[in-house]
Amino acid sequence: MIEEMVVVSAVDAAGVKVAAARSSACAQCASKSNCSQGILSEWGQGKTVEIEVQNPDKLTVEPGQQVMIGLNEGSLIRASLLLYLLPLALLIVGALLGAALAEWQQITLSVLFMFAGFVIARRLSSGHGADARYQPILLRAL
Strand 2-12 vs strand 137-141: parallel, antiparallel, or unpaired?
unpaired
Percent of the chain whose predicted confidence (pLDDT) is above 90: 26
Over residues 53-71, the mean pLDDT reads: 85
Domain residues of the chain, as ranges? Answer: 2-141
pTM to 2 decimal places:
0.65
78-127 residue pLDDT tens: 888 889 999 999 999 999 999 999 999 999 999 999 999 999 999 988 87
Mean pLDDT, rounded, for 2-26: 80
**CB neighbours of residue 130 within 10 Å:** 8
Distances (CA, A) of 123 to 83, 87, 91, 110, 128: 11, 13, 18, 20, 10
